[in-house]
Structure 1
Amino acid sequence: MPGRYSHPLALYFAATRPAFLTVTLVACLIGLASAHAGGVSINALTATATVLFALVAHAGVNVINDYHDARNGADAANTARLFPFTGGSRFIQNGVLSAAQTGRFGYLLLASVVPAGLWLSWHSGPGLVAIGLAGLFFGWAYSAPPLALMSRGLGELAIAGGWLMVVIGTDYVQRGYFDSLPLLAGVSYALLVANLLFINQFPDRDGDALAGKRTLVVRLGTERAKWGYLIISLIAYAWLIGLAGEGHLPQKAGIAAFTLVLSLTAGRDLIEHAGDPQALRPAIKRTILAAHLHGLLLAVSLALFSGTSAS
C-alpha cells in the first residue's frame, strides 16, 4: 500500500482523509453567509485564510484520531468497518505510516493553525482566540487522553461543539464581534454532523467495545442507541423550523428542512439494520448527503434572503 503514493506529500495528504473535510467547508460557508446576512462586506483574503486553516485543523483532528485509535487498539480490533466511512484511514495498521509518524503529523497540523489564528485575530478581534481555543479543545479532547470524550459517550457533544465553533469563528473573522446569528444558524448543521459520527459508531461498535472505547452506542447497546439518530435529527430540524418561524432566521431557511427526508429514511434503515453493520452503507451515505445539503441550503438562504433575519 505505501507504493500507491508517488510522493510523500500525496501520502500525507491522503492520511488526513480529505474526502471528509467537506463538512468543515460547508460550516465555513454557513459562517460567511451569516456575516453577509448581518450586512458585512466579506473580505476575500481573511475568508480564504479562515477556510484554509479550518480545513487544516479538521485534517489534524482526523490524523490525531487515527493515532489514538491505533494506541488504544480500536482500529486493529475493528473488523466490521465500512470502508471508507468508518474505522479510520488504516494507514498505521497497513504499514503506510508508523504510529509515531502519524502522531507527529497530526499535532503538527494543529500547531500550524495557531499562528494563522493569531494573524486572523489581529485582523478581526481578540474574541477569535477564545473561539479558536474552544475549537481546538473539542478536536483534541474528542480522542486524546486523558479526556478522550468519544470513549466517555460524549463524542457527539464534542463534534457538535467543534463544528459550531467553525461557524461562529468564520462569522467572527468577518464581523469582528460576537453575534447571535451564527450560533442560531449553526446548531442544526452541527447536530447533523454529530449524527454522522453517531451512525458511524454502529459498524465500529464491536471493535470499540473490545478496545474499551465506551462510545454512546457501546454504552446503550444497538437496540437502544438506534433511536438516538432520530432524536438528534428531530432536534436539529425542530430548531431550524422554530427559528425560521419566529423570524430569527430567514423564513426561507426552512428550505433546508427538506433534507429531513434523507435523515428520516436513514434513521429508518438504522432502526431496521442496527445489528447488521454491512447493511448500513446506504444509511451512512444519506446521512452524509443530508448534512451537506442542509448546510448548503442554509448558507444560500442566509446569503440571499437575509432581510428577515435577526441579530
Structure 2
Amino acid sequence: MPRPPVEPSPADAGPLPLRYLRATRLPFLSVTLFACLIGFGTAAQAGALQPGPALFTLALALVCHAAVNVLNDYYDALNGSDAANTERVFPYTGGSRCIQNGVLSLRQTRDFGLALLALTVLGGLALLARAPGLLGIGLIGVLAGWAYSAPPLALNARGLGEAAVALCFALVAVGADAVQRGVPAAGPLLAAAGYGVAVTAILYINQFPDWRADAAAGKRHWVVRLGPQRAAGLFVPLLAVAYALQALAILSGALPPLAAAVLGLLPLWRRAARELAAHAGAPGRLAAGIQATILAANLFGLLTAAALAFG
C-alpha cells in the first residue's frame, strides 16, 4: 500500500517560492486545463485556433484557479473550518494546510491570493483587445471565484458553491473559445456543460470528510444541509445530469458523436458512487472514492476535448 501524502511543514516546505506554490494545490489545476482544451477544441472546429493566444489564455486560467484555491485557504482559516477539520483526507480535502501547519502566515496567504487575482485581472484586460465580448465572462468568472469563499457572498456557505463551480468551468471553455474567435459563442457553453457538472462531482464528494467542521463554521453546503447519508444519494443524480448535458451537446451538434466516449468512464464513476454510499459517514475511508471521482472527471474533460480535436 502506498503511504498517504504527508502534510506540509516548515521543516520540509522548502524556500518561500516553493511554499507559495504548495498553497496553490498545483496538481488539482488539471480540471482547468481540460476546460480550456474544450474551448480550444470548439474554436478549432470553427477554424479559429491560434497557438500563441491559446497558451496565454491557458496560463491566465491556471493563475485564476490558483488564486481561488489560495483565497479559499485564507477564508477557511478565518472562519475556522480548516483548523477544526480533524476528519480531512489530505491532500484532497481540508485545504493545503499551509496556514494551519505554519508554512505560510495568514497575511502571506491573503496577499498571495490577491496578487494572483490581480494578475488574472491584468491578463484579462490584455485579452480584451482580441475579444471585447470577453469582459462579461471575465467579470462573472473572477467574481464567482472570489465570492465562492469570501464574505459577504460566501457562495459555498450558502449552498450555491456547487452551481457556481459548474458554471465557472463551463465559462472557462467559453472564454478560451472567445479569445480565439474574437466573440463569445453559445456552442462552447453547451459543449462544456457536462464537464462542468463532472467537476462539481469532485467538490461534492470532497465535502463529506469536511462536513462536520464546515457545519461548525456555518458553511451550509449541500452535504451539511442534508447530512452525509442523504447527501450521498444525490451523487448518482448529479452524474446523470452531467451525462444528460453531454448527450444534449452531441444531439445539438455542439459536440461530435465521438464525445459519447465518456460512457466508457461509467465503471469508474460506479466505483466512486459505491465508495461514497459505503463510507459517507466514515470520512477516513473515502480516499479511494475521491481518487476515482477526480480521475473520472479529468478523463471526462480529456475525452471531450479529444472528441473535438479528432471528431
Q: TM-score, normalised by structure 1?
A: 0.95
How many Å separate the matches in 2 of 1:104 and 1:247?
44
- Deviation of the 1:246 alpha carbon: 4.7
Instruction: Please list, as runs of the form range in 1=range in 2, the aligned pairs for 1:4-19 lying within 5 A after superposition.
Output: 4-19=12-27
2:125 aligns to what? 118
Structure 1 gap segments, 5+ residues each? 306-311
Instruction: Please list, as runs of the form range in 1=range in 2, the aligned pairs for 1:39-118 lying within 5 A after superposition.
Output: 39-40=47-48, 42-118=49-125
Query: Which one of the candidate residues 193, 196, 208 is aligned to 1:187?
Result: 193
Query: Which one of the candidate residues 234, 242, 247 is aligned to 2:240?
Result: 234
Q: CA contact under 8 A between 2:134 and 2:184: conserved in structure 1? A: no
- Deviation of the 1:179 alpha carbon: 1.6
- Deviation of the 1:239 alpha carbon: 1.6
2:291 aligns to what? 285
| 3-state SS in 2 of match to 1:94 | coil
How many Å separate the matches in 1 of 2:132 and 2:252?
32
1:218 matched to 2:224? The reply is yes
Q: CA contact under 8 A between 1:138 and 1:161: conserved in structure 2? A: no
- The amino acid that maps onto 1:118 is L
- Deviation of the 1:303 alpha carbon: 1.3
Q: CA contact under 8 A between 1:273 and 1:279: conserved in structure 2? A: yes
Change (3 A) 1:120 1:246: closer
1:294 matched to 2:280? The reply is no
1:22-60 Cα shifts (integer Å, max 9, x gaps):
1111111111011111222x2121111100010000000
Q: CA contact under 8 A between 2:188 and 2:254: conserved in structure 1? A: no
Change (3 A) 1:119 1:150: same
Deviation larger for 183-192 or 241-250: 241-250
How many Å separate the matches in 2 of 1:22 and 1:187?
17
1:203 matched to 2:244? The reply is no
- The amino acid that maps onto 2:102 is G
Q: CA contact under 8 A between 1:257 and 1:294: conserved in structure 2? A: no
How many Å separate the matches in 2 of 1:243 and 1:182?
9
How many Å separate the matches in 2 of 1:165 and 1:136?
11
Query: What is the aligned-residue identity percentage?
Result: 50
2:32 aligns to what? 24
- Deviation of the 1:180 alpha carbon: 1.9
1:309 aligns to what? none
Q: CA contact under 8 A between 2:132 and 2:183: conserved in structure 1? A: no
- The amino acid that maps onto 2:85 is N
Q: CA contact under 8 A between 2:268 and 2:293: conserved in structure 1? A: yes
1:35 matched to 2:43? The reply is yes
Q: TM-score, normalised by structure 2?
A: 0.95
- Deviation of the 1:265 alpha carbon: 2.0
- The amino acid that maps onto 2:235 is Y
Aligned residues between the structures: 303
Structure 2 gap segments, 5+ residues each? 1-8
1:196-222 Cα shifts (integer Å, max 9, x gaps):
000000000111111111111001111
How many Å separate the matches in 1 of 2:11 and 2:92?
23
Q: CA contact under 8 A between 1:150 and 1:156: conserved in structure 2? A: yes
Q: CA contact under 8 A between 1:240 and 1:257: conserved in structure 2? A: no
1:159 aligns to what? 165
Q: CA contact under 8 A between 1:241 and 1:257: conserved in structure 2? A: no
